[in-house]
Structure 1
């Protein structure tokens, strides 16, 4: 075994160690970037939840996917729709009291947007009890994730999602909404 052979072996070990370092660094960056995206979704989701619970239409509109606002006839028309929905619920004795984001958020990115499935649990006070529903929101991050929007999935399925999100990545599966649970008040 020559000195050149050992020198070559040492260089190979150094190259292998450097490549391992690069790989681990890339993995760390990926995990950090993923954690950042999830944190952004959760923060935007908490603001959205607050607006839903408190009936803050301006904040709700700020977090409503622009295509939906456009299809409703503009911001004022969408605000009117939101108010009508809220009034109908109030007239029926219903009031959203809790909206909680789930932990298992799935997301994907395309050239211009981030799309995520965000599990949510809502609790609504109704006459004589409460209704708890497990559903999902679609979160959409646009403009380099500077803006986050939400879309409720109650009337969206795999067949019609492209009407709202033309760039939808079908690798994300829209989960089926579960039947809501009614719990009677105990007095």
Structure 2
């Protein structure tokens, strides 16, 4: 009996180690995908950015072409006002949570923008969603309104802790 209990505990311990390694590799992939998304936005490669956007959000925005046009228009408006994105620092993803067939995680980031009178830092996040057991990920920006978020991600786990929305911080020249 004691041997079987020890054997069971050894198996459970091994499973925990394997799960921790899997979670670490998944988080590494998720962070790399968010960095790829942010790099695409910095380079104004909106087609790439849209390819990493959660499909339901793309559909709600009128489709790929419409979303790309919105991103181009928004960027032109920002640039006309003397605002540009200078860098994005991606933080570590949160724990992974499953709801239905999907996995979810939160990835915080800090956006640094050049504005006419200084530098603005914005702390925000994206919600990562995988529908294929963490092989691929798409993202929803965390700055959308709560009602819109419920429409885009109706199965978002309640246990997934979303960071509080923060006001931009201006550092004057």
Q: Is the 8 A contact 1:106 1:118 kept in 2?
A: no
Q: What is the SS of the residue equivalent to 2:137?
A: strand
Which of 139, 149, 152 is the matching residue for 1:164? 152
Distance 1:103 1:147 in 2: 17
Larger Rg: 1
**Structure 1 residue 121 corresponds to structure 2 residue 110:** yes
Change (3 A) 1:161 1:64: same
Distance 1:62 1:148 in 2: 10
Which of 23, 29, 41 is the matching residue for 1:40? 29
Change (3 A) 1:76 1:160: closer
- Equivalent position of 2:6 in the other structure: 17
Deviation per CA, 1:26-83, whole angstroms, max 9, x where unpaired? Answer: 1111211211221111110110111111111111011111111111211111111111
- Equivalent position of 2:169 in the other structure: 181
- Equivalent position of 2:139 in the other structure: 150
Distance 1:111 1:155 in 2: 23
**Structure 1 residue 63 corresponds to structure 2 residue 52:** yes
Question: What is the CA-CA distance between 1:160 and the residue it aligns to?
Answer: 4.0
Q: Is the 8 A contact 2:108 2:126 kept in 1?
A: yes
**Structure 1 residue 27 corresponds to structure 2 residue 23:** no
* Structure 1 unmatched ranges of 5 or more: 1-11
Question: What is the CA-CA distance between 1:104 and the residue it aligns to?
Answer: 5.2
* Structure 2 unmatched ranges of 5 or more: none
Distance 1:36 1:100 in 2: 20
Distance 1:133 1:101 in 2: 12
Distance 2:77 2:65 in 1: 18
Larger relative contact order, structure 1 or 2 (CA cutoff 8 Å, min sep 6)? 2
